[in-house]
């Protein structure tokens, strides 16, 4: 029996007394008298894995989520047996395991309790499927908060919610709807201002209950597999997220163009329509880097084919688009049309690459092409074959990115919307049913796609986007939040989803700007693009059923505001690229929910709308029609209103006036924000200066700028430029120190420094200890300085 409502079931079984233990290098095994084994592995001092079996032995240890290159190793480990418990201690935490019932508690070294089993591990045997429904319950104190779990369409703080993880094609999903497209069984707990993380690495259908069923209990369970989870010690949320991201992996840098604006619709065809749209962008002077071809570019929805009537010469078209600065991205679905004349189908059939039912026949399901078979991407040989299929698209035709859809996997006209559960999968040599492979199917497809596109795009970087994902998918792909709706409520949802994905390790995410289903009003589209330019992935997409969703489908005012905000995104590209670098280098999420930004301030614990974009820009969308401003919480510290340059003191909720062509945006005092000139696409212009917006602060502040060749892999050989600006502001003085690293010589030769909020009149400037001649009049008029990029120290006095 599968239970998804009853946490405590009368058939539940529990570990009995611990009768023996062994310590083997980084792991300690505890054996109970009823054949339960608990294996505690010290991955790092602050990262501990707990794995249970009820069979008396462990099955093969295999995970798609864990990045093989994650850091491991600890500084200290001590295992001590006491009269009625065992103690495992590292340099960060202490773990107590009770002999009588195997229950666990984890403390920091000051004896603060971080995590405590309530019932702890228990299970229910499943006669029907074999194996267990594995369960875990933890005691939770009043005031504890919970965050994370990927794409959930609910409030940021998950306290009081029950959530389900089962990748689902959820067209026009609603607020609170469960489950959605992605599965990230990772959450962050926050208690007494201390954060910890739990990653439950189980790919079966899983559930998390955050004090919903019982007020002081948090629990999680899975409909099969092992109780296998990682505890991550903070105490800063930053450390929890960074450790989780290290454990499940980071992407490589995307090509810079992928951080530009993308335009999509279901579907742009024929070729003349694609050209019309791209030309219109250039004419309207709204920057755009990528144009998408949805399913209608194919011949009868057969993957890797072209409809020759609509697209007679794809290679020529793609090249012409490229000349105009457009990168072409095409959709590829998992369903392969059953058609003996179709080479992809024939080859997969010959090689036996399709998923099979338990009794032998190939699994058959209806999707866009009609009856299809589906490659088993959990088979490494199938992934290799799939990767090879991209040769023509990428090498010959010149497509720059691939969009994987329908990979939950989605099946039409069947009640469960997906494969039957008896379908067999290779699971990289650990054969299993769809119950276990379902949640990773999409990620394995995206992984195979990634390897193919990467191989044929070389020496350029690949770009992949997926709808479904399991924890760790960020190593291969970006993602979008699926089929949302053009409604104000969905704008609220998108804002939270993208922030939540960001702290769940999968930062390169965005929503369909304007909404996929239904038609946005001009005002809703405006408010959405104003938020969307601050999302790591920025794409307008719509189902096309209800009219057009290009900027010019709306009135002139909307077009102007869209241009203004897309321009801003293009100006902020070096800032955006730098945050991407920090994400891949240090696991720092690109968007920071307020609770992440300042967990010590309890005012942030239930905030949803405001977030920090990168490290220094605070953004809060307008989520209602007819707004002339809104109330928002400005976190502690000093912030400049981006539009007025007025300084405010945070740590309080306040009203912020806005106009139709603004949303609340604040810049942290002391920041240096790097900017490029507006370009219609990445690489359009050569420019000779990097703009630095300097926001004066009394005190110190550090800002960094990462740059490289914007594509290719030279950055891995040290050919990047990493600038660190350290400013120190005093009452009538400002010092800027610049430190450089890396072997990339940026093409510009100077900085244009805009001095914002300087509280004194400049009387003297020294560059590297040499006084420079001043044109005081010009300085007072323009408030900027031009400085050679080789400077080390700039000293401004009033």
Distance of alpha carbon 624 from alpha carbon 521, whole angstroms = 12
- Among 238, 289, 376, 405, the active-site one is 405
Question: Which sign does the torsion angle of CA 127, 128, 132, 137 carry?
Answer: negative
227 phi-psi bin (left φ>0, alpha ψ -120 to 50, beta other): beta
Per the CB < 8 A criterion, the answer to whether 500 and 485 are in contact is no
Alpha carbon 517 to its chain's center: 23
Q: How far is the CB of 266 from ligand MIG (least distance, A)?
A: 4
In the complex, what is the shortest distance from the CB of residue 540 to ligand MIG, in angstroms, rounded to a whole number?
12
467: three-class secondary structure by DSSP: coil
Report residue 281: phi and psi, to 5°: -60, -45
Q: Which residue is nearest to ligand MIG (CB)?
A: 266
Catalytic residue among 408, 426, 701, 708: 408
Smallest distance from the beta carbon of 137 to ligand MIG, in angstroms? 36
Question: What is the three-class DSSP state of 66?
Answer: coil
15, 235, 365, 482: which one binds ligand MIG (CB under 6 A): 482
Closest CA to 64 of 431, 471, 636: 471
500 forms part of the interface with ligand MIG (CB under 6 A):
no
Residue 408 annotated to the active site: yes
Which residues 357-376 are close enough to bind ligand MIG by CB under 6 A?
none
Nearer of residues 375 and 515 to ligand MIG, judged by Cβ: 515
234 binds ligand MIG (CB under 6 A): no
CB 758 within 8 A of CB 670: no
Concatenating the DSSP letter of every residue in 197-222 gives EEEE---S-EEEEESSSSTTEEEEEE
Among the listed residues 229, 241, 226, 160, the one whose alpha carbon sits nearest the alpha carbon of residue 196:
241
- Cα(482)–Cα(468) distance, integer angstroms: 9
Question: Which residues ranging from 710 to 729 are in contact with ligand MIG (CB under 6 A)?
Answer: none
Using the rule CB under 6 A, which residue among 246, 376, 405, 707 binds ligand MIG? 405
Closer to ligand MIG by Cβ: residue 261 or 720: 261
CB of 480 to ligand MIG, least distance (A): 7
Q: Nearest-CA neighbor of 228 among 80, 17, 59?
A: 59
Ranges within 451-470 binding ligand MIG (CB under 6 A): 467
Closest CB to ligand MIG among residues 249, 482: 482
332 belongs to the binding site for ligand MIG (CB under 6 A): no
| β-sheet bridge partners, residue 217 | 139
Q: Is 405 a residue of the active site?
A: yes
Candidate residues 7, 195, 331, 498; the one interacting with ligand MIG per rule CB under 6 A? 331
Determine, following the binding rule CB under 6 A, whether residue 539 of this chain makes contact with ligand MIG: no
Question: How many whole angstroms separate alpha carbon 58 and alpha carbon 78?
Answer: 24
Cβ proximity to ligand MIG: between 145 and 469 the closer is 469
Q: Nearest distance from residue 482's CB to ligand MIG, in Å?
A: 5
* Contact status, residue 156 vs residue 607, Cβ threshold 8 Å: yes
Nearest approach in angstroms of CB 331 to ligand MIG is: 6
Nearest approach in angstroms of CB 484 to ligand MIG is 9
Residue number, 44 or 541, with CB nearest to ligand MIG: 541
The SS3 call for residue 303 is: coil
Q: By CB under 6 A, what part of segment 516-535 binds ligand MIG?
A: none
Decide: is 483 part of the binding site for ligand MIG (CB under 6 A): yes
Among left, alpha and beta (phi > 0; psi -120 to 50; other), residue 629 is: left
> How far apart are CB 483 and ligand MIG at their closest, in Å?
5
Q: Which is nearer to ligand MIG, 180 or 331 (by Cβ)?
A: 331
Angle at CA of residue 699, ends 693 and 703, nearest 5°: 40
CB 188 within 8 A of CB 195: yes
DSSP collapsed to 3 states, 489-519: HHHHHHHHHHHHHHCCCCCCEECEECCCECC
Within 269-298, the residues that bind ligand MIG by CB under 6 A are 294-295
Vertex 73, ends 67 and 77: CA angle to 5°?
A: 135
Rounded Cα gap, residues 618 and 217, in angstroms: 34
Catalytic residue among 483, 550, 693, 701: 483
145-148/186-191 β-pairing: antiparallel
Q: Which is nearer to ligand MIG, 53 or 542 (CB)?
A: 542
- Residue 445 contacts ligand MIG per CB under 6 A: no
Please identify, using beta-carbon distances, which residue of 406 and 440 lies nearer to ligand MIG.
Answer: 406
Residue 408 lies near ligand MIG (rule: CB under 6 A): no
Q: What is the 3-state secondary structure (H, E, C) of 613-653?
A: ECCCEEECCCCCCCCCEEEEEECCCEEEECCCCCEEECCEE
Q: Let me know if 426 is a catalytic residue.
A: no
Between CA 770 and CA 779 the distance in angstroms is: 18
Residue 536 CB, shortest distance to ligand MIG, in Å, is 18
x/- string (CB under 6 A) for ligand MIG, residues 540-559?
-x------------------
Q: Report the nearest approach of ligand MIG to the CB of residue 793 (Å).
A: 51
Residue placing its CB nearer to ligand MIG in the complex, 487 or 735: 487
573: CB partners within 8 A, 6+ apart: 256, 259, 260, 676, 682
Restricted to residues 735-764, the positions that interact with ligand MIG (CB under 6 A) are: none
**CB closer to ligand MIG, 93 vs 331:** 331
Please check whether residue 691 is in contact with residue 673, taking contact to mean a CB–CB distance below 8 angstroms.
no
HSE of 95, CA atoms in CB hemisphere, 13 A: 28
Q: How many residues bind ligand MIG (CB under 6 A)?
A: 10
Min. distance of Cβ 547 from ligand MIG in angstroms?
15
Closest to ligand MIG by CB, 482 vs 507, is: 482
Site string for ligand MIG, 109-138 (x = CB under 6 A): ------------------------------
24 touches 54 (CB < 8 A): no
Nearer to ligand MIG by C-beta: 404 or 526? 404
Instruction: Please report how close the Cβ of residue 648 comes to ligand MIG at its closest, in angstroms.
Output: 40
In total, the chain counts a number of residues equal to: 798
* Cα–Cα distance measured from residue 380 to residue 120, given in angstroms and rounded to the nearest whole number: 36
Binding mask 248-267 for ligand MIG (x = CB under 6 A): ------------------x-
Give the binding site for ligand MIG (CB under 6 A). Answer: 266, 294-295, 331, 405-406, 467, 482-483, 541
Catalytic residues: 405, 408, 483
């Amino acid at each position: 029996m599968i239970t998804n409502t009853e946490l405590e079931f009368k058939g539940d079984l529990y570990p009995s007394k611990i009768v023996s233990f062994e310590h083997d290098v980084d792991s300690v095994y505890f054996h109970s008298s009823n054949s339960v084994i608990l294996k505690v592995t010290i991955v790092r001092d602050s990262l501990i894995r707990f794995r249970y079996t009820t069979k008396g032995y462990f099955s093969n240890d295999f995970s798609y989520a864990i990045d093989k290159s994650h850091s491991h190793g600890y500084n200290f480990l001590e295992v001590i047996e006491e009269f009625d418990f065992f103690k495992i201690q590292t340099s960060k935490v202490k773990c107590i395991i009770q002999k009588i019932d195997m229950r666990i508690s984890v403390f920091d070294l000051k004896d603060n309790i971080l995590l405590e089993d309530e019932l702890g591990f228990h299970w229910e045997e499943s006669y029907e499927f074999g194996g267990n429904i594995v369960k875990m319950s933890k005691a939770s104190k009043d005031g504890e908060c919970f965050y994370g779990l990927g794409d959930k369409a609910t409030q940021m703080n998950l306290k009081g919610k029950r959530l389900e993880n089962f990748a689902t094609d959820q067209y026009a999903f609603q607020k609170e709807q469960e489950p959605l497209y992605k599965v990230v069984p990772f959450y962050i707990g926050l208690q007494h201002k201390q954060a910890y993380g739990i990653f439950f690495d189980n790919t079966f259908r899983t559930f998390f209950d955050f004090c919903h069923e019982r007020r002081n209990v948090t629990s999680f369970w899975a409909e099969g597999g092992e109780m296998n989870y990682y505890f991550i010690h903070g105490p800063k949320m930053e450390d929890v997220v960074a450790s989780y991201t290290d454990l499940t992996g980071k992407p490589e840098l995307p090509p810079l163009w992928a951080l530009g604006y993308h335009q999509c619709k279901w579907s742009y065809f024929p070729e003349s329509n694609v050209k019309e749209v791209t030309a219109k962008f250039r004419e309207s002077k709204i920057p755009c880097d990528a144009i998408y071809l949805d399913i209608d570019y194919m011949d009868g929805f057969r993957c890797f084919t072209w409809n020759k009537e609509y697209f007679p010469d794809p290679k020529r078209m793609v090249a012409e688009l490229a000349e105009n600065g457009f990168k072409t991205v095409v959709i590829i679905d998992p369903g392969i049309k059953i058609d003996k004349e179709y080479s992809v189908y024939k080859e997969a059939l010959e090689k036996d690459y399709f998923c099979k039912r338990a009794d032998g026949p190939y699994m058959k399901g209806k999707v866009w092409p009609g009856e299809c078979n589906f490659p088993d991407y959990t088979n490494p040989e199938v992934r290799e074959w799939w990767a090879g299929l991209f040769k023509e698209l990428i090498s010959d035709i010149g497509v720059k990115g691939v969009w994987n859809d329908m990979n939950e996997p989605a099946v039409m006209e069947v009640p469960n919307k997906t494969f039957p559960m008896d379908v067999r999968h290779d699971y990289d040599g650990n054969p299993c049913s769809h119950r276990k492979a379902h949640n990773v199917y999409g990620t394995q497809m995206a992984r195979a796609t990634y390897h193919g596109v990467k191989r044929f795009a070389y020496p350029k970087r690949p770009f992949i986007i997926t709808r479904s994902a399991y924890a760790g998918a960020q190593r291969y792909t970006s993602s979008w939040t699926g089929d949302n709706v053009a409604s104000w409520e969905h704008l609220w949802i998108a804002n939270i989803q993208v922030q939540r994905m960001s702290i769940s390790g999968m930062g390169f995410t965005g929503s369909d700007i304007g909404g996929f289903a239904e038609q946005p009003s001009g005002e809703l589209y405006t408010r959405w693009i104003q938020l969307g330019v601050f999302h790591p992935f920025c794409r307008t997409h719509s189902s096309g059923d209800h009219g057009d969703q290009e900027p010019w489908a709306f009135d002139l005012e909307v077009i102007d505001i869209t241009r203004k905000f897309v321009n801003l995104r293009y100006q902020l590209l070096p800032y955006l690229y730098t945050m991407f670098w920090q994400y891949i280098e240090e696991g720092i999420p690109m968007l920071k929910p307020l609770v992440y930004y300042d967990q010590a301030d309890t005012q942030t614990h239930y905030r949803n709308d405001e977030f920090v974009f990168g490290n220094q820009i605070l953004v809060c969308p307008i989520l209602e029609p007819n707004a002339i401003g809104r109330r928002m919480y400005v976190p502690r510290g000093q912030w400049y209103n981006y539009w007025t340059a007025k300084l405010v003191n945070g740590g309080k909720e306040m009203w912020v006036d806005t106009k139709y062509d603004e949303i609340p945006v604040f810049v942290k005092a002391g920041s240096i924000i790097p900017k490029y000139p507006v370009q219609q696409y990445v690489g359009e212009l050569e420019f000779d200066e990097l703009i630095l917006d300097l926001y004066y602060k009394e005190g110190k502040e550090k800002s960094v700028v990462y740059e490289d060749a914007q594509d290719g892999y030279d950055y891995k050989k040290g050919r990047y430029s990493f600038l660190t600006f350290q400013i120190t502001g005093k009452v009538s003085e400002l010092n800027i120190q610049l430190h450089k690293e890396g072997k990339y010589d940026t093409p510009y030769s100077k900085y244009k420094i805009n001095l914002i909020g300087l509280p004194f009149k400049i009387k003297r400037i020294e560059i590297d200890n040499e006084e420079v001649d001043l044109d005081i009049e010009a300085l007072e008029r323009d408030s900027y300085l031009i400085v050679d990029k080789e400077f080390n120290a700039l000293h401004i006095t009033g």
